[in-house]
A and B are shown apart, each in its own frame.
Chain A
């Protein structure tokens, strides 16, 4: 097939299909269909480089059509160009243009942006880049259309190659203004920082940042539209270090602080809550110590503190919180074949009313522990066992809310074993049981209790049979059991009353077949069965009553899938996949779902 024919095919497919998400120069299309929803995505990227000039073009398209219950069409198209021309050694001119069209049914938004900047670095250690531009937006709606446009200008400056006593400094500042008709805004940013890394890996980083922004906008409210002027002031600082103390010990420390203020000037005589002056601030630091003995023993301990405050000036939501958390982590290679890992986290977050006691004051306690043990029995057989426990305890302080104090605990035990039965056959076995208890501190009711338990167990067997380099078959089986019910507190102990249980079986077989190096075919079949049972109380002749287990539902799903990956050459490939699922359940119509996906990639 000639190169021209290949491109022709790709372009024809573009009409029917088109996703892209890569920045390599090329042409990408993806088409997918899922029952009544159709998606088209396309991208075209191209960069040009010459000695004095570089430029990039990007075209994006994304369309969705939902056919049922009613036809709904959404479409986004964007085209952009960015260039950079070297006028003199110290002077570069950079124009950029972008245009987009976003449509949802009969509503449309067109936008066009233009900007040109000149970067000048002939002032010694100062680099300056002023810009001018224009923004244009047009909204078309059934009720009419409106246009919003205006010029923009600004300046970006950086200090380059500055160092103080061996510490390189980064200093930058920028101002930009967008004088758009309806929503004018302007921004000022300034930052100073430094980063130094020593030969042994020791590191020191710090920076301060400032942001000031002003904008005007119309605020929709039940009282109609009001003109609001918003001023945002944000200041922040960050600090980070890594220090090797001796040969084995490493200390890491970090700290940060940030404060944001919002000020409003509203034409509304009774401003909304969202138009009230407010601020938030946050402080944090962490210290971590770690030690490694000959890669046999690894230990780490850390402490983290954080405080957050938000003030909407008198609102009930105004809170401040404080977190304290410790973390321990350790790993030991007992022998060359046995290893043990352990980690745990203890922490408390406290929420306080900012203007005095509130009903939302609470503590949240977190405890998480995990232990893993792994053993390699021989080169054909290995296994891993893991256990875990987590606790989230919520404690409201005020008597109004403390009835909701509750503990959410989860216990977990799992294992994984791998066995190379013989050369072409590998087996992986996974087993896991999990129990989740949610109990309310003050709820010891026997009937209308909120205490509950959820349990789950699963067994998963995966087999890989490699007949040859070009033919692999992967059968598998998964069984899962779940039950859910209330927890009763009787005779100073918890008792479980199962409300429902569910059994799930999944059998699947997948084949990977590579008949020729440029083609891979993957057929797959999945059979799934799910049964639900409810537990109901039925009075009996003895007067005590019986618990009956009744079938609540039984689903059967069968999925057949076929995927093909065609690698035309190193720059071009085509992927096609199709799934068909048939879902049957008593009392409902047979449901058939189709999913088709076509993806084409052409890299220049």
Chain B
């Protein structure tokens, strides 16, 4: 019987045939692009500044470092309007992976010659920031301008609204954005949320 058991051990080896070298790792590609402007996210405001710079510099690594693993984006007004138009699914299940792939699409699109993206963010006087020890809510009035220049001329779209960021800090760790909500300045007006939805993949 013991032989059977030992041989069954060997069968596991053979049948498994599955072995992973416990000390060898793959070689990763070096980071793409420039390093970008990055500030240690030791405060909620620093994270928002990093987000601003990463957008203007179109640097995806810094952008994704601003987001928490359980990140969630919502654009209530745009999504209700989209729902009525039959494209509400564009706003469904918008987590970190969707946010990164969308930003990546935007950055690669606007890195092309003749295209430009400008983002300005300012504190909202009507909605003062609420900063706690480990949780914070930060309001930013934004203007996002996209410029496309071709043989027919320059096409500029200006989007404006209020972005609400909820952030949290883990023990001895950095601040990251848990949720981002977008409200356009004018109902049905061009907004950041609507712009992002167009580039969702």
Which residues of A come within 8 Å of B, CB atoms? 198, 202, 204, 221-223, 239, 241, 243, 245, 251, 253, 255, 270, 272-274, 283, 285, 287, 303, 305, 307, 315-317, 322-326, 346-348, 350, 359-360, 362-363, 365, 393, 395-405, 442, 445, 448-450, 452, 454, 484, 486
Contacts and interface: CB of A to CB of B under 8 A. Distances in A.
A267 B12 CA distance: 45
B30 A399 contact: yes
A486 B39 CA distance: 12
Most buried by A among B39, B60, B92: B92
Given A241-B8, A348-B20, A393 B28 contact: no
B152 interface: no
Contacts of B91: 222
A324 B19 contact: yes
Contacts of A316: 97-98, 101
A303 to B, nearest CB: 8
A393 B28 CA distance: 12
A448 B2 contact: no
B89 A198 contact: no
Given A223-B83, A316-B101, A486-B40, A400 B60 contact: yes
A350 B26 CA distance: 9
Contacts of B26: 350, 363, 395, 397
B61 A272 contact: no
A275 B180 CA distance: 24
Interface string B37-60: 111100000000000000000001
Contact of B104 (A346, A348, A400, A484): A400
A303 B9 CA distance: 13
Contacts of B25: 348, 350, 363, 365, 393, 395
Given A243-B6, A399-B32, A450-B40, 20 more contacts: A198-B1, A222-B83, A223-B83, A223-B88, A243-B5, A251-B6, A251-B9, A255-B12, A270-B89, A272-B93, A285-B12, A305-B16, A316-B97, A323-B20, A360-B97, A397-B29, A402-B31, A405-B28, A442-B31, A448-B37
Contacts, number: 134
Interface string B6-23: 101100110010111111
Most buried by A among B8, B26, B31, B65: B31
B19 A403 contact: no
26 contacts: A202-B2, A223-B83, A241-B5, A243-B6, A253-B9, A253-B12, A255-B16, A270-B89, A272-B93, A285-B16, A315-B97, A322-B20, A323-B20, A348-B20, A360-B97, A362-B28, A395-B26, A397-B26, A398-B29, A400-B32, A402-B28, A402-B31, A442-B31, A449-B40, A450-B40, A454-B172
Given A287-B12, A397-B26, A400-B60, A359 B100 contact: yes
Nearest to A221: B92
A281 B158 CA distance: 48
A122 B43 CA distance: 72
B164 interface: no
Contacts of A324: 19-22
